[in-house]
Structure 1
C-alpha cells in the first residue's frame, strides 16, 4: 500500500486495455494540457514517493520520475525497460547486471548513471515506510558495483529467477544520487517536470523534453485531487477534467450513450482483487475453522453482480489471476452458509462481534464490504461496517495492521511476488500471517533452476493459502476509467492502470 496502499500500488504490472470508445480516427496532435482526477488524501498528500499514501501520490511520482522498468507480460523478458535498456542475469542467478540507457538526463541537465540507480535502490532498502525494503531484500546492495557510468552489477543474496520482475516493479523510481528530499526543485527524469503542488488540491507539470525515448506529446499535465467517485466523474462530464480514474461500475453506467465520453476497461491479468483480511493475531481469526467459515459465508456471485454491476469475475481467495503461476486447478470455493454456521459453532465463535473496516479506496470496495457484512450476519456473526473517508483507510499503517477485519485491494501482480511483498516473513500487511513452510515453498517458486519445479512449488503454496489463508477474495474487477473520447494513448504509459501519461495525446 510505504502505507498499505503504496505497497499494493507499487507491486504491479502493465495492463492490456480495451475500450468501449469506438472512435475510428487514430491521428494525434501534439500539445494541450491533460487534466486528470484521482483519489487524493487531502493534507496528507506528499511529494515524498516513499511516504505517500494515496493513488494521487503514486501517479504524481509516475509522472515525475523515470523507472528502471515496468512488468510487461508481453515483453520478451517479461518487463518493459525504462531508464535501463536491459538487465542481464548470470546463468546461476547470482548476479544481475543493469545497463543504463545512454544519454538519459535529469531535468538539471546531468546524465543518469549507474550510481543513480544504486542510490535509488538503496533508498528502497533503507526506507522506513511500509515495506518498500521488501522490493530489494533479495539483493546484496552493499556489494553492488558500478563498473562504469552505465553498468551496475548487482549480486543476489540468494539466486532468484525473477530478479528482472522485482527490479521492475512499480517502486523502481530513479532519483538523483544524493537527493535527501523530494521537492519541486529536485532534479527528476520522468516524462513531466513538476511546477506546482498543493496538498488536497492537485499538481501541475510540464513536458520534460529530455525524457528518454521521446518527449510526451502533451504540453502539460494537471493532476486533480478528488476523493469522491461521483465528483471525479462529474468533473469529466462537466468539462473540468479529461480523465477520471477507477470509478464505481454503477456510476459508469450513467454515461452509456454519451458520445463525448469513453470508458476504458482493463482485462486479465490487469484485474484488481477486492479482498478482506482476517487478522490472525486477533482471536477468533487464529482458528482456521473461523477463517474457513467466513469464506464460505460469502456469496461471491451476488458481490460480482451487485458491487461491480457484473463487470468482473468471481474470486477464489487467491491473488495473481491471469499470470502463469496462478493455481487455476484449485476448485472454486462454494457459497455454503450452512457449513459456515456449523464451523462457527465448532469453533465456539457463533455470535461473536466484529467490525469490517473499509473505505472508497477502489471502485466497488465499500459496496463489496457492505455485502460481506450482510452475508456474515446471515450466518450468525454480529458484523458491522466501519467506513473511513476516502483516502484514509491506509493513512495510518500502524493502525491498519492492527485491525481485526480489514478491506483492501490488490494490484495485478504474479502470485509469488505478491506473496513476497505482502506476506513473507510475517510481513505486517499479512495481518498476522506467518507461515515459514509457505515462505519456503514460495522461495522455491522464485529460486529453483527448473521452471517446472518453480511452478509446482507455487501451486503447492497456493493450495495452503486457499485452505488456511486469511484473505477472502470474492471478486476480481477491472479498472474502469472514464475520459473524453478524443484522449488516446493513456494505456501505453500505464502501470496496472496507474498512468504516467507519457504517451497520451488528444486526437
Structure 2
C-alpha cells in the first residue's frame, strides 16, 4: 500500500491519491468530505481522448478504463496478482498455457464471465487493426488455436515458447470484455468495479460503482475523472475544492503546500515509480554513431538532475528500466558523469549542436531538459529545444519513432516486460529503434525460459546489450506525486495508475 507523509524541505514521492468532494475550512483544516461516496480526480488528457481500452492514450482515460474493466492479472507493487483468473499454468515447454477463471465473476449486466469471453478478449487485443497499442504483446499467441475447454477453462497456445506469458504479457494488459463487444463509450457492459454513466471526451468521465462486483461494492459509489492538463492547474483545482485528487503534481508545487493541513501527498514505492530520461534514435543522425550516444550518456550529470528535479529524493538511473524489481541487472556499473570524455567524443564526431523534442508529459521533464542544456554547454554542445504540447506528444507514432532526440518516461516495470515491449524489432514502442543484429534472438531465448531464475539471468544478458550500446538514457526514477484532501484510505497503484475501488474515507 502507498504511504502518506508530509512533504518536508526535500520531499518527493509517489502516487496513490484520492479524495472526495471536500473543501478546506477558513483555517485551512479540511472539514471532511461533503459526500463521502463521491470522488473527483483531476488528470492529464490527450488529443486523442477515447474510452476504447485498446487505443486509449490519455492518463485520464487510463484511469477510466482501469475502473471499467477487470484484468486476468494485475500488477501490484511490481508483482503479478491474479484477478479474474484463478490459475494460469504453462505446460512443460511454455508453448501452451491453461487459464482457469474464478467461479464468482460477472459482467455489469449480470451475466457470468466465461472462457469464451476471455478467448474473444485475447483475440481482440492481439488484432493489430483493433489494438494498435497492445497487439505486439500477443504476437506469439496462436490466436486461431485458442481452445475453450469449458465455461471456466481455456488453453492458449503459442507459436514459440513464452515462459513470461504472465509477467510480460498478461500483467501489462489482460482486460476482459464480453464476447463480441465493440461498444466502449455508450453504456458498455463492463467487467470492472464501475459502470459508465457519461463520457465527454477530453473533459470528463463519470462512473458508478457496481453492487455485484466480485471483490465487493466500492464505497466510493461515484467516480468522476476531470481532464486538467496542467499540473499546477490540477493542484489549484484541488485547493479550490473543484476536485478531490490532483494526480501527478510537480514536486516543487507540492513542497510549497507542505504546511497546508487540508492537503496530503501520497507516496508509493519504487515499483510504481516513473523512469525519466531521453531517447536517442539509433537510426537517426547524429545518434546513429555509437560514440555520440556514449558521449551523451557521459555528458549527463544524473545526480544533479535527481537533486534538482526530484528535490533530492528520487533515485539515480542507470539507463535501464526496472530498478528495484525482479530481473533488474544491478551488477552493471553505474554510468558516471565524465564531461571530459564526452567533450572529446562529441568533438571527434563533429557534433556541436543537437535538437531535442520535449513535453511535460510528467512533471520534471521540462526542468530536466533545461539542466541538460547547461550540462551540454559545458562540453561544447548547444541544445536546441522544441517544446511540444503534452496532450499531443504521444498522439503521432510516426513522429515519435522518427525523432532523433526527445524526452521520455516509462512506468517502472520488470526488465522482461520492458525489454519485450520497448526494444527489439517486435517492441511496439521502440522509440530508440534499438534492434542490432542478434538482439531479437537473444530476447526470444530469454522469453522462452520457464524457470524464473534462468529467465532473469538471460534477461540480464540482454540488458547489458542495451546498457552498452542502446539509445535509451534513464537518468532517474521519480516518485509520482498525487495530492489529495485528507482522510482517504485504501488507494493502491497498478502501473502507476491509482485505483479507487477499495478506497474509502
- Give the aligned partner of residue 496 of structure 2: 497
Q: Aligned partners of 1:243, 1:131: CA distance in 2, in Å? A: 28
**5+ unaligned residues in a row in structure 1: which ranges?**
1-15, 23-27
**5+ unaligned residues in a row in structure 2: which ranges?**
8-32
Distance 1:482 1:256, change over 3 A: same
Q: Aligned partners of 1:396, 1:449: CA distance in 2, in Å? A: 37
Aligned-pair Cα RMSD in Å? 2.1
The secondary structure found in structure 2 opposite 1:430 is coil
**Residues 68 and 83, structure 1, Cα contact 8 Å, conserved in 2:** yes
Q: TM-score, normalised by structure 1?
A: 0.90
Q: Aligned partners of 2:76, 2:61: CA distance in 1, in Å? A: 22
Distance 1:142 1:436, change over 3 A: farther
Distance 1:350 1:161, change over 3 A: same
- Give the aligned partner of residue 405 of structure 1: 405
Q: Deviations over 1:310-368 (max 9, x none)?
A: 13011111111112211111111111111001111222x321x3221111111212211
**Residues 83 and 100, structure 1, Cα contact 8 Å, conserved in 2:** yes
The CA deviation at 1:373 is 2.6
The CA deviation at 1:298 is 0.5
- Give the aligned partner of residue 100 of structure 1: 101
The secondary structure found in structure 2 opposite 1:392 is coil
The CA deviation at 1:53 is 1.7
Q: Aligned partners of 2:412, 2:361: CA distance in 1, in Å? A: 16
Q: Aligned partners of 1:194, 1:155: CA distance in 2, in Å? A: 34
| 2:41 counterpart (32, 36, 51) | 36
- Give the aligned partner of residue 8 of structure 1: none
1:73-152 to 2 correspondence within 5 Å?
A: 78-128=79-129, 130-152=132-154
The CA deviation at 1:453 is 3.3
- Give the aligned partner of residue 12 of structure 1: none
Q: Deviations over 1:438-468 (max 9, x none)?
A: 3332323222355443233222221221110
1:371-410 to 2 correspondence within 5 Å?
A: 371-410=371-410
**Residues 70 and 495, structure 1, Cα contact 8 Å, conserved in 2:** yes
Q: Deviations over 1:396-420 (max 9, x none)?
A: 1111111111111111211121010
Q: Aligned partners of 1:215, 1:256: CA distance in 2, in Å? A: 34
- Give the aligned partner of residue 14 of structure 2: none
Q: Aligned partners of 1:66, 1:426: CA distance in 2, in Å? A: 26
Distance 1:73 1:227, change over 3 A: closer
Mean CA deviation greater in 85-94 or 199-208: 85-94
Q: TM-score, normalised by structure 2?
A: 0.90
Q: Deviations over 1:42-73 (max 9, x none)?
A: 5x311112222211111110011111121246
1:217-256 to 2 correspondence within 5 Å?
A: 217-256=219-258
**Residues 45 and 61, structure 2, Cα contact 8 Å, conserved in 1:** yes
**Residues 36 and 243, structure 1, Cα contact 8 Å, conserved in 2:** yes
Q: Aligned partners of 1:374, 1:209: CA distance in 2, in Å? A: 56
Question: When the two structures are aligned, how many residues end up with a matched partner?
Answer: 478
| 1:62 counterpart (52, 59, 66) | 66
Distance 1:171 1:275, change over 3 A: same
1:250-289 to 2 correspondence within 5 Å?
A: 250-289=252-291
- Give the aligned partner of residue 4 of structure 1: none
The secondary structure found in structure 2 opposite 1:292 is helix
**Residues 124 and 132, structure 1, Cα contact 8 Å, conserved in 2:** yes
The CA deviation at 1:90 is 1.8
Q: Deviations over 1:172-211 (max 9, x none)?
A: 1111111123122121111111111112211111111122
